[in-house]
């Protein structure tokens, strides 16, 4: 295949934002070049994030349910964990998805280059090939110059390190290292009580590791509504070894049989202030990958926090260069990037568009799952906005009791004057699969009446949304709460 020298659109970064942009642009008739360091599109999400973690979380769920089945009269032997097979399963899922994206890229006639892009100016890239060379360049180190009409930067993010606490040890892992499953350690310290740390901590706990979580703030999942997190915290207290809140790590050093970790915090017992763990997982967030080589030669502006600055159409300060995904700001979620991708391509094609969602869903794939969208109760309080909250406990739901998972709740955040649904929150088994209805309700400016009058199938978890709306009006069939006068 001849090396391209000019393209209408170049997309830098092949994650859920990048490949979505490239595919949509190609479908719309543009000539597209997609540049990424991996052999196929997929990005962190598919290679080292969302997908491999969910594959392992599924395994953890099966192990947990098999153990829980003893409550119903079904007793299984302790699972025998074959780590090589488990890694193979996870890697096969990643391979199928990324390989499929590679085929879709070829079918769309997209020029895919496995390499590293450097801006020469606002219209030109230098691309250095990496091993494998992609579709256009063969061999490591070979470079080509590519001119473009428009560019979309979709370079994603990387794990944050603890400032001043670096230890060059294989025993200290970030999320990427933890997903590689190097072993099933006897003990694991998870630094950070956010969604990544809790998801991966849950995986290792299900596989038999004694997991301790340390979190600087006074609660897990900072930013999420406390009433949702309460259900998760209760369960984690039974599945994890220990949860240390208002605690921070002050030092790490190599020990004979692991990593010695020094900690300090309110009410921390002396025995907990210095502990040795087989492994440590540092999961304190992610930072934007905005240090794109040569970006300073383009006029693109970057904020103090490292995010590329864009307008509502995802256009940077340089009109022909756009940016999407983690690199432009929170929330750092794959589905946000994919939708931003469409807006950026539409803008490139001259359409008047803006990325202005009312509800970006967030799902924490722990057990139980936590999910929310739109305005949260926490945000409403910060804004001083008057809202009414309607809650439906899953303990009153037939389906939840039938599967022995009453530990959940659905809540609606409602404007008391218009009765418009402003936000939805859920916690419980399968909450992530049901939050999409909440997204639709918020985006369509649905009223509580709309949700109440929509007939939901029985018995399902989805009924909790209808019943929560009924709670708002004071006539839920399965919960007694008189309507406020």
Domain containing residue 39: CATH number? 3.50.50.60
The DSSP bridge partners found for residue 410 are 392, 426
CA dihedral over 266, 267, 268, 270, signed as positive or negative: positive
* CATH number, domain with residue 367: 3.30.390.30
Structural tokens at position 210: 């004694």
CA dihedral over 168, 170, 172, 177, signed as positive or negative: positive
Q: Pick the last residue of a domain from 323, 348, 373.
A: 348
At residue 1, the pLDDT reads 42
At residue 485, the pLDDT reads 56
Q: Among residues 68, 351, 458, 475, which one is catalytic?
A: 458
Backbone angles phi, psi at 186, to 5 degrees: -70, -40
Looking at the fold, whether 457 and 383 belong to one and the same domain comes out as yes
pLDDT tens profile 41-50: 999 999 999 9
Query: Which residues lie below 8 Å from residue 483, measured CB to CB, with a gap of 6+?
Result: 472, 473, 474, 475
At residue 138, the pLDDT reads 44
Looking at the fold, whether 35 and 150 belong to one and the same domain comes out as yes
Structural tokens at position 475: 């006539």
Q: Pick the last residue of a domain from 253, 269, 284.
A: 284
Is 58 within a domain?
no
Looking at the fold, whether 40 and 150 belong to one and the same domain comes out as yes
Looking at the fold, whether 183 and 271 belong to one and the same domain comes out as yes
Separation of alpha carbons 435 and 61, rounded Å: 20
Looking at the fold, whether 11 and 101 belong to one and the same domain comes out as yes
Separation of alpha carbons 327 and 332, rounded Å: 8
Task: Provide the 3-class DSSP secondary structure of residue 11.
Answer: strand
Is 65 within a domain?
no
Is 223 within a domain?
yes
Burial class (CB in 10 A: 0-12, 13-18, 19+), 129: buried
Looking at the fold, whether 374 and 465 belong to one and the same domain comes out as yes
- DSSP H or E run through 433: helix 431-443
Residues of the domain holding 337: 6-48+88-158+287-348
At residue 219, the pLDDT reads 95
Separation of alpha carbons 292 and 297, rounded Å: 11
Is 64 within a domain?
no
Looking at the fold, whether 227 and 277 belong to one and the same domain comes out as yes
Query: What is the tally of structural domains in the chain?
Result: 3
- Radius of gyration over every alpha carbon of the chain, rounded to an integer in angstroms: 24
* CB neighbourhood size of 301 (10 A): 14
204-208 contacts at long range (C-beta below 8 A, 24 or more positions apart): 204/178, 205/60, 205/239, 205/240, 205/241, 206/59, 206/60, 206/61, 206/63, 206/64, 206/239, 207/60, 207/63, 207/81, 208/81, 208/184
Looking at the fold, whether 260 and 301 belong to one and the same domain comes out as no
Is 252 within a domain?
yes
Looking at the fold, whether 134 and 26 belong to one and the same domain comes out as yes
Q: Pick the last residue of a domain from 284, 303, 319.
A: 284
Separation of alpha carbons 322 and 341, rounded Å: 9
Is 61 within a domain?
no
Report whether 380 contacts 354 (CB < 8 A): no
Looking at the fold, whether 243 and 299 belong to one and the same domain comes out as no
At residue 483, the pLDDT reads 64
25-31 contacts at long range (C-beta below 8 A, 24 or more positions apart): 25/345, 25/348, 26/108, 26/109, 26/110, 27/108, 28/345, 28/349, 30/345, 30/348, 30/349, 31/7, 31/111
Is 354 within a domain?
no
Place of tokens 């939901």: 456
* CB neighbourhood size of 251 (10 A): 13
Looking at the fold, whether 128 and 11 belong to one and the same domain comes out as yes
Looking at the fold, whether 376 and 335 belong to one and the same domain comes out as no
Separation of alpha carbons 328 and 337, rounded Å: 9
Is 319 within a domain?
yes
Per the annotation, the verdict on 71 as an active-site residue is no
pLDDT tens per residue across all 485 residues of the chain:
445 589 999 999 999 999 999 999 999 999 999 999 999 999 999 999 999 999 999 999 999 999 999 999 999 998 899 999 999 999 999 999 999 999 999 999 999 999 999 999 999 999 998 865 455 544 456 889 999 999 999 999 999 888 777 788 889 999 999 999 999 999 999 999 999 999 999 999 999 999 999 999 999 999 899 999 999 999 999 999 999 999 999 999 999 889 999 999 988 888 889 999 999 999 999 999 999 999 999 999 999 999 999 999 999 999 999 999 999 999 999 999 999 999 999 999 999 999 999 999 999 999 999 999 999 999 999 999 999 999 999 999 999 999 999 999 999 999 999 999 999 999 999 999 999 999 999 999 999 999 999 999 999 999 999 999 999 999 888 988 766 65
Predicted TM-score of the model (pTM):
0.93
């Amino acid at each position: 295949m001849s090396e391209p020298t000019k393209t209408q659109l170049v997309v830098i970064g092949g994650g859920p934002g990048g490949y979505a942009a490239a595919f949509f642009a190609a479908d719309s008739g543009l000539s597209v070049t997609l540049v990424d360091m991996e052999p196929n599109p997929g990005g962190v999400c598919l290679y080292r994030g969302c997908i491999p973690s969910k594959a392992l979380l599924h395994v953890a769920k099966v192990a947990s349910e098999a153990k829980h089945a003893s409550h119903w009269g079904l007793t299984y032997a302790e699972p025998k964990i074959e780590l090589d097979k488990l890694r193979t399963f996870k890697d096969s899922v990643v391979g199928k998805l990324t390989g499929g994206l590679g085929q879709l890229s070829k079918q769309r006639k997209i020029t895919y280059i496995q390499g590293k892009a450097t801006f020469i100016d606002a219209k030109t890239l230098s691309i250095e090939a990496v091993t494998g060379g992609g579709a256009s360049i063969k061999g490591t180190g070979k470079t080509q110059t590519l001119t473009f009409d428009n560019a979309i930067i979709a370079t994603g993010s990387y794990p944050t390190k603890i400032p001043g606490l670096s230890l060059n040890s294989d025993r200290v892992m970030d999320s990427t290292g933890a997903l590689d499953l190097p072993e099933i350690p006897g003990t694991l310290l998870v630094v950070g009580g956010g969604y990544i740390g809790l998801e991966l901590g849950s995986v290792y706990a299900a596989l038999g590791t004694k997991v301790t979580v340390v979190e600087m703030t006074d609660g897990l999942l900072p930013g999420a509504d406390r009433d949702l997190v309460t259900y998760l915290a209760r369960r984690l207290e039974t599945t994890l070894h220990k949860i240390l809140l208002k605690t921070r790590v002050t030092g790490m050093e190599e020990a004979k049989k692991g990593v010695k970790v020094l900690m300090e915090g309110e009410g921390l017992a002396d025995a907990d202030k210095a502990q040795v763990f087989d492994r440590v997982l540092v999961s304190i967030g992610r930072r934007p990958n905005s240090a794109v080589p040569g970006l300073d030669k383009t006029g693109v502006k970057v904020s103090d926090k490292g995010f590329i600055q864009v307008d509502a159409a995802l256009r940077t300060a340089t009109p022909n260069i756009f940016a999407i995904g983690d690199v432009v700001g929170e929330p750092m979620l794959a589905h946000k990037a994919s939708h931003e991708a469409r807006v950026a391509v539409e803008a490139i094609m001259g359409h008047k568009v803006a990325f202005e969602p009312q509800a970006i869903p967030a799902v924490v794939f722990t057990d139980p799952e936590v999910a929310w969208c739109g305005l949260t109760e926490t945000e409403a309080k910060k804004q001083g906005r008057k809202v009414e909250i309607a809650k439906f406990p899953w303990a009153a739901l037939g389906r939840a009791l039938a599967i022995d998972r009453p530990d959940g709740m659905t809540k609606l955040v409602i404007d008391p004057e218009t009765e418009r649904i402003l936000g939805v929150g859920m916690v419980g088994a399968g909450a992530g699969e049901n939050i999409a209805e909440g997204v639709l309700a918020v985006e369509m400016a649905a009223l509580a009446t709309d949700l109440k009058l929509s007939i939901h199938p029985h018995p399902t978890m989805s009924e909790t949304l209808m019943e929560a709306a009924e709670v708002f009006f004071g006539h839920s069939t399965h919960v007694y709460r008189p309507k406020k006068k």
